[in-house]
Amino acid sequence: MKPTILLGTRKGLIAYHFKNGKWQAENLSFEGTPVSIAYADPRTGDWWACLDHGHWGVKLHRSKDRGANWEEVTAPAYPEGAEIKEGMPATTRYIWAMAHGGQKFQSRLWIGTDPGGLFMSEDAGDSFQLVESLWNHPTRKDGWFGGGRDQPGIHSVVVDPRNENHIHIGISCAGVFESVDAGKTWEIRNKGLRAEFLPDPDAQAGHDPHILVAAPTNPDILWQQNHCGIFRSVDAGKSWQDIGQPEGPANFGFAIAVADDNAEQAWVAPANSDMTRTAIKGALCICRTDDGGKTWKDFRKGLPQENCFDIVYRHALVSSGEAVAFGTTTGNLFFSPDRGESWQTINNYLPMIYSVQFAD
Amino acid sequence: MPVVKFTYALKRFFPGLKDTPAKSVILSDVLDEIEMVYPGINSYILDEQGNLRRHVNIFINGSMIPDRAKLDSEVSEKSEIHIIQALSGG
């Protein structure tokens, strides 16, 4: 298990460190400011804070000393004249994903934003450029729309460690897009998904993958918690199979995590349907599959089972070895040392939690 | 000489911020001047397309500027330009 948990919350970046057998608060940065994503780059150890100042715009900060000191770097910005729709200028409204570009491209970083722009840095984050090929994709202006946010947003960037120019991204709402040339060209990978909220559920674009992840041990195996169920692909997204439980609880939700040593094992954090977005029957559970989604078990030991309203946002459920952790919308942070079978509370009094990451 | 006055909230990011005189006669030029004094501050006031951020207001002599995109309001020798935040959120 990696010994650090990094949180992006409604009121700042918070870090916990596992020491002497327990999680202890290590750092609080940007107190009072929403941190949409807190990200540790495993290659460098750099911490990144994606800030969402209500008044002053989206900002990006980097720390090379575990949050003791921060430097502001230029946040991704849309070029002059870029438009969300005709007559609607594009500006960075939110940073919703951050990923490093792999071992071969040590200076490469990816950022996904609302309103739907993907940005790439080739200078270790000193500057970011809009990936024009995706921004100019023929489906964007008419086929993408907001889901979870007012405008389309890229919340997932998955880099294939075998070929780090090969990436998948997840967009709400557009779906899964794949590039094999570091973003120069794109293929839509939504075959097998359902967009039940559209007149045509099999539309080419307009799907709502709440989060997209790949199995580290086999990056051709992709998982997504979708608005319309849980889906898995064994062919790098060329086709998707519905693996959710029709009657739940493993069906609707936002987050999914896949084991770093087993491509068949994954966790989801079920929620009531999109009508209410609350904990199911006032109780919190985490569901795990050990067989690629054929069956699911729900685990509740140590989690609240009454009067509970928590749900888990898309970046807030993660695993590391035997450990699993998740943070909730009502500021609870839970940790499991046994792959989700039992849970311990790290803190009940945090701000709303947007992102959780295990880090060194 | 017009003077630019800033909300205290911006001092969190620019600790040396204080009432700052300017020379220009058009608001957008005044903002260019303060960017020279406090590098980076315009990215807090304006978005990347050059428009005033949604929850930021600018008043000249007590009147809110009418155009948040062109920022072409005139300022005079005695103008006080207030850059403030809207009170929103929780």
Q: ipTM of the assembly?
A: 0.85
For A274, list phi and psi in degrees, rounded to 5: -65, -10
The reported pLDDT for the residue numbered A172 is: 96
Q: Looking at beta carbons, which residues of chain A come within 8 Å of B10?
A: 56
**Dist CA A310 CA A279 (whole Å):** 6
Q: Work out the widest C-alpha separation in chain A, in whole angstroms.
A: 57
pLDDT tens-digit map of A69-78? 999 999 999 9
The reported pLDDT for the residue numbered A147 is: 85
Helix %, strand %, coil % for chain B, to 5?
20, 25, 50
**Dist CA A347 CA A150 (whole Å):** 31
**Dist CA A95 CA A149 (whole Å):** 12
Interface A-B, measured as beta-carbon pairs within 8 A, has a size of: 41
The reported pLDDT for the residue numbered B90 is: 45
Contacts of A199 (CB under 8 A, 6+ apart): none
Which of B48, B58, B87 is the best mutation test for A, with the most CBs of A within 10 A? B48
User: Closest Cα to residue A92, out of B16, B53, B23?
Assistant: B53
CA distance B88 to chain A (A): 8
CB A40 within 8 A of CB A49: no
Q: Which residue(s) pair with A223 in the sheet?
A: A213, A232
Which of B49, B53, B85, B88 is the best mutation test for A, with the most CBs of A within 10 A? B49
CA distance A56 to chain B (A): 4
What is the DSSP track for B16-51? T---EE---SBHHHHHHHHHHHSTTTHHHHB-TTSP
Check A91 against B49: CB less than 8 A apart: yes
Contacts of B5-14 spanning 24+ positions with Cβ under 8 A: B5/B80, B5/B81, B5/B82, B5/B83, B6/B83, B7/B82, B7/B83, B7/B84, B7/B85, B9/A55, B9/B85, B10/A56, B10/B41, B10/B44, B10/B83, B13/A56, B13/B41, B13/B44, B14/B38, B14/B40, B14/B41
pLDDT tens-digit map of A306-350? 999 999 999 999 999 999 999 999 999 999 999 999 999 999 999
Pick from A56, A59, A80: CB nearest B49? A80
The amino acid at residue A298 is D
Q: Looking at beta carbons, which residues of chain B come within 8 Å of A91?
A: 47-49, 51
The reported pLDDT for the residue numbered A273 is: 83
Report, as ranges of residue numbers, the positions in chain A whose pLDDT lies below 50: none
CB A167 within 8 A of CB A159: yes
**Dist CA A94 CA A54 (whole Å):** 10
CA distance A77 to chain B (A): 6
For A293, list phi and psi in degrees, rounded to 5: 95, 5
Q: Looking at beta carbons, which residues of chain B come within 8 Å of A72?
A: 40
**To 10 degrees, the CA torsion angle through A116, A73, B27, A87?**
-10
What spatial distance separates the first Cα and last Cα of chain B, rounded to whole Å? 37
The reported pLDDT for the residue numbered A157 is: 98
Tell me the pLDDT band of B20, cut-offs 50, 70 and 90.
very high
The reported pLDDT for the residue numbered B87 is: 66
Is beta strand A71-73 parallel, antiparallel or unpaired with respect to A83-85? unpaired
Distance of CA A333 to the CA centre of its chain: 17
A89 in contact with B at a CB cutoff of 8 Å? yes
Cα distances (Å, whole numbers) of residue B43 to A188, A277, B87? 35, 35, 19
User: Closest Cα to residue A289, out of A266, A270, A268?
Assistant: A266
Burial of B90 (0-12, 13-18, 19+ CB in 10 A): exposed
The reported pLDDT for the residue numbered A148 is: 80
**Dist CA A210 CA A256 (whole Å):** 9
> Is residue B7 within a helix (H) or strand (E), and if so which, with residue range?
none
The number of residues making up chain A comes to 360
**Dist CA A212 CA A220 (whole Å):** 12
CA distance A75 to chain B (A): 9
What is the DSSP track for A269-322? EE---TTT-S-GGG---EEEESSTTS--EEE-TTS--SS------TBSEEEETT
Contacts of B12 (CB under 8 A, 6+ apart): none
